[in-house]
Structure formats: C-alpha cells, structure tokens
Amino acid sequence: MSSVSKNVLFRLALRVEDYVKKSTMVSSNEAPERDYGYLVVMECATEKILILAEVGDVPLDKMGCMEVAIEKCRRTIESGELSSWATRDFLNKCYGGGIGGVQINSVDVVVAFSGLKEYADESVCVAATRDLGMLEVKKAAAITAISSACTDYTVTTTEFLEALQAA
C-alpha cells in the first residue's frame, strides 16, 4: 500500500496558502477580505484525514469552516462525485469546494478548502493540485464544469480559476 509523505502534504498546504493570498487580488472575488480557511486532505479508501491545515488567521467566529471542509471531503467520497458541488445543498450547509480525482503517491484523496466563497474554495484546490501534478487536466475541467453550472454568483469557478492563475 502506498503512503502519502508529510512533505508532499506540506507542499500542497503551502501552495493552497499561496493561492488563498492571490485570491484576495482577483477583481471578481466577491469577498476579497477573506484570506483564511481550512485545508483538508482525506484518503478515499479509509476517510482518514491526512492533513488538516489552518491557512491564514481564521477568526474565532469562522472556526466552523474546519467542520465544513471535513464535511465536503466526506460527502465527495460518499457520493463518488468529482466535486462536492454535485451534491451541494446550500440550505443545509453542504457547500462546494471539495474535489475528488486527486492522486498523491498513487493514493486517491479528496481535497477541500473552506473559508472563501465556494468558487474560490474550489479554485484554490484545483489550482494547487494541478500545479503539483496531483490532478489531471481532464479531471480539473470536469470538476470546474460541474461547479460552473451554478448561477448563484456573479462569477463561475472556471472564470475565477483562470483569473486566480493569472494573478
């Protein structure tokens, strides 16, 4: 059985942190003041949390973002979907921002972030995992196609991701 090294997980957390900082500079960001949240990486086979990382200075009243990120991972694994947007239920606090199809050292994992707007949560996960070769281009496109169908925001995930990577 393959294992995921802590070094690789730390590299992912640092890359996510970089993208969270960049997200504040994207003009289409509906909440540019948010520069914090929680990253969770969960192994698909066991639902074991491989890393739970605080990014930025999370305000005390936003500590619930930790549970939201964990829930996104579990829901994505249980549904078998590539994106937590596929099972999003905003009224019941089931949000987008978790992505499947990610492999780290041949281990299937789900990566989720919570703290930004949903489209930004997902974008930082997609961008960071793509940069590190953990997510294939076709899967990234399929993930953002699911979330970009949402019309609740003035920007789609695909649009935000493109702007984020250009920032």
Q: Is residue 82 part of a domain?
A: yes
Residue range 43-61, pLDDT digits in tens: 999 999 999 999 999 999 9
Please state the rounded mean pLDDT for residues 7-21. 98
Instruction: Give the model's pLDDT for residue 3.
Output: 87
CATH of the domain at 49: 3.30.450.150
pLDDT at 1 over 80: no
Burial letters for 35-49: b for 16+ Cβ neighbours within 10 Å, e otherwise?
A: bbbbbbbbbbeeeee
Q: Is residue 23 part of a domain?
A: yes
Residue range of the domain that includes 48:
6-166
Q: Is residue 27 part of a domain?
A: yes
Residue range 67-121, pLDDT digits in tens: 999 999 999 999 999 999 999 999 999 999 999 999 999 999 999 999 999 999 9
Average pLDDT, the chain: 96
Q: What percent of the chain has pLDDT over 90?
A: 96
Q: Is residue 146 part of a domain?
A: yes
What's the pTM?
0.96
Q: Is residue 58 part of a domain?
A: yes
Q: Is residue 1 part of a domain?
A: no
Q: Is residue 30 part of a domain?
A: yes
| Amino acid at the residue 55 | V
Phi, psi of 77 (to 5 degrees): -65, -50
For residues 93 and 13, what is the distance between their CA atoms, to the nearest angstrom?
24
Residue range 119-159, pLDDT digits in tens: 999 999 999 999 999 999 999 999 999 999 998 999 999 99
pLDDT tier at 2, thresholds 50, 70, 90: low
The tally of domains found in the chain comes to 1
Burial letters for 71-97: b for 16+ Cβ neighbours within 10 Å, e otherwise?
A: bbbbbbbeeebbbbbbbbeeeeebbbb
